[in-house]
Chain A
Amino acid sequence: MIGTALPELSIDLTPTVVVATALATMDYTPVHHDTALARAQGSTDIFLNILTTMGLVERYVTDWAGPAAVIRSIDVKLGVPAYAGDRLTFSGTVVAGEGDRLTVEVRGRVSLGEHATGTVTLEGP
Chain B
Amino acid sequence: MSGRAMTEEELHELAGKQVALGEVRGAPAADPVNVPMIRHWLTAMGDENPRYLEQGLAPPAMAQVWTMPGLRRGPRERSPVDDMMAALDGSGYTGVVATNCEQTYHRYVRVGERLTPATRFSGLAGPKRTALGVGYFATWNITWYTEDDEPVADMMFRVLKFRPPERKATEPYPLQPAVNQDTAFFWEGVTKGELRVQSCADCGELRHPPGPLCPRCRSTERAYRLAAGTGTLFSYVVHHYPPVPGRQAPFVVGVVELPEGVRIVGNVVDCPVEEVRIGMPLRVTYRRMDDRLVLPMWAPA
Contact = CB atoms under 8 A, between A and B. Distances in A.
A62 interface: yes
A52 interface: yes
Interface stretch (B63-71, B144-152, B189-197, B288-296): B63-71
Contacts of B108: 70
A76 B102 contact: yes
A67 interface: yes
B101 interface: yes
A71 B60 contact: yes
Nearest to B30: A26
A73 B102 contact: yes
Contacts of A78: 97-101
A27 B69 CA distance: 8
Contact of A59 (B46, B103, B104): B46
| Contact size range, A | 20 to 34
A1 interface: no
Contacts of A52: 44-45
Interface in B103-124: 103-105, 108
Given A20-B44, A70-B108, A55 B61 contact: yes
Interface in A4-37: 11, 17, 20-21, 23-28
Interface residues of B, number: 32
B262 interface: no
A58 B41 contact: no
Contacts of B104: 72-73
A51 interface: yes
Interface centre among A21, A53, A74 (most CB of B within 10 A): A74
Contact of B59 (A23, A50, A55, A72): A55
Contacts of A57: 61
B148 to A, nearest CB: 21
A75 B102 contact: yes
Nearest to B103: A74
Contact of B65 (A20, A51, A59, A75): A51
Given A51-B61, A73-B105, A74-B103, A25 B68 contact: yes
A26 B65 contact: yes
A51 B101 CA distance: 9
Contacts of A38: none
Given A50-B101, A73-B105, A24 B44 contact: yes
Nearest to A42: B164
A99 to B, nearest CB: 18
Contacts of B78: none
Interface of B: 37, 40-41, 43-51, 59-62, 64-65, 68-71, 97-105, 108
